[in-house]
Amino acid sequence: MRHEIRIIFGDTDQMGVVYYANYLRFFESARAAYWRSLGKSYKDLEEAQVAMPVIEAHCNYKRPSYYEDLLEVDVRVGELRQASLRFDYTIYRGTDVIAEGYTRHAVIGPSGKPRPLPQFMRDLVAARPS
């Protein structure tokens, strides 16, 4: 699934390039868009008593991006386990790869302990073409 992001001035640093930590925000925006594309949202996860905190994040920066760039974030579930999942991301500007990375998420319940991802969410992820 692809999600578009237009770079605003506030995303850039003093050198005029996108500040490195903002790529994690772009990952988060793409994750939310991913769930919405499946007809669900993080609110649906909350209603199912599921939280998915990030437990690991990685970003490999390939090229800089700048104010007003239109980026596309390709997001997909790269790994689905019983009580965790990993989202994989590739950020493009046109055909240029700007960054690649992933976030790994624990699946936890209201007590903060691991729990399985609900079957309805697992089915949605499994039905989505890669």
75-97 tens-digit pLDDT = 999 999 999 999 999 999 999 99
pLDDT at 43 over 90: no
Catalytic hit among 13, 69, 74, 88: 13
Beta strands across the sheet bearing 70-80:
2-6, 70-80, 84-93, 96-106, 54-61
The residue ranges of every structural domain in the chain are: 2-127
Query: Please, are residues 63 and 71 in contact by the beta-carbon 8 Å criterion?
Result: no
107-125 tens-digit pLDDT = 999 999 999 988 888 888 8
CATH of domain 2-127: 3.10.129.10
Query: Please, are residues 73 and 26 in contact by the beta-carbon 8 Å criterion?
Result: yes
Q: Which of 105, 90, 100 is nearest to 56 (CA)?
A: 105
Q: Which of 72, 69, 68 is nearest to 97 (CA)?
A: 72
User: What is the model's pLDDT at position 129?
Assistant: 63
Higher pLDDT, 120 or 57: 57
Q: What is the pTM of this model?
A: 0.92
Reply yes or no on whether 13 is catalytic. yes
User: What is the model's pLDDT at position 46?
Assistant: 86
pLDDT at 60 over 90: yes
As a whole number of angstroms, the longest Cα–Cα distance in the chain is: 46
User: What is the model's pLDDT at position 77?
Assistant: 95
**What percentage of the chain has pLDDT greater than the value 90?**
77
pLDDT at 68 over 90: yes
